[in-house]
Amino acid sequence: MFAAVAVLASPAFADGDAAKGKKVFNKCTSCHDAVEAKDKVGPNLVGVVGRTAGTLESFASKYSQAMKDAGAAGLVWDEANIAEYLKDPKGKIPGNKMAFAGLKKDDEIADVIAYLKADPKP
Ligand code: HEC
């Protein structure tokens, strides 16, 4: 399993296309803002790449215990961890409350991460 993860985490992700990722992010905007630090059903994702899971202060009272525990256990949203979470949210963090089935295509995942990394502007 870890070998597969290592392959997933390989530099393929560096090749994500932020412009395409902006479109993929349309699947997230009902619950997430990545442009303004405004929380919706989900925490805002401004600067999420590199953030410790479950630690956005403005969302502190709304995170699931599972998400806070994951962060307390050291989960940082680097590209590999975001990719695994988006592929299978419930598999990556059992008990978390993001009601999202996941992104099936690796290139969509890479693109949306590139978008999030690019410090999105409107
Ligand atoms: C139906 C609403 C919904 C959709 C759609 C959704 N999310 Fe979420 N997301 C949430 C919620 C709620 C949480 C907090 C989960 C928890 O605390 O257990 C979350 C958490 C996250 C986190 C962790 C943030 C943190 O501060 O630790 C990331 C990263 C994330 N979502 C990315 C995405 C991306 C990218 C998409 C689109 C591909 C997406 N989400 C789609 C509701 C959603």
- Domains of the chain plus CATH, in order, are 11-117 (1.10.760.10)
Q: What is the mean pLDDT of the chain?
A: 91
Is 103 touching ligand 1 by the criterion CB < 6 Å? yes
Structure confidence by residue, pLDDT tens digits, 10-19: 444 457 999 9
114 lines ligand 1 (CB under 6 A): no
Ligand 1 centroid to residue 88 C-alpha, Å: 12
Ligand 1 test: best mutation among 98, 105, 116, most atoms within 8 Å of CB?
A: 98
Question: For ligand 1, atom 2, which residue shows the shortest CA distance?
Answer: 31
pLDDT band at 29 (very low <50, low <70, confident <90, very high): very high
Give the Cα-Cα-Cα angle 51, 89, 34 (nearest 5 degrees): 45
pLDDT reported for residue 99: 97
Q: What does pTM read for this prediction? A: 0.91
Mean local confidence (pLDDT), 51-77: 98
Retrieve residue 107's tokens: 């290139």
Q: Are the C-beta atoms of 112 and 28 separated by less than 8 Å?
A: yes
Is 70 exceeded by the pLDDT of residue 70?
yes
Look at 119 and 5; give whichever has higher pLDDT. 119
pLDDT in tens, 99-108: 999 999 999 9
* 86 CA to centre of ligand 1 in angstroms: 9
Q: Do 51 and 71 contact (CB within 8 A), yes or no?
A: no
Q: Is the CB of 41 under 6 A from ligand 1?
A: yes
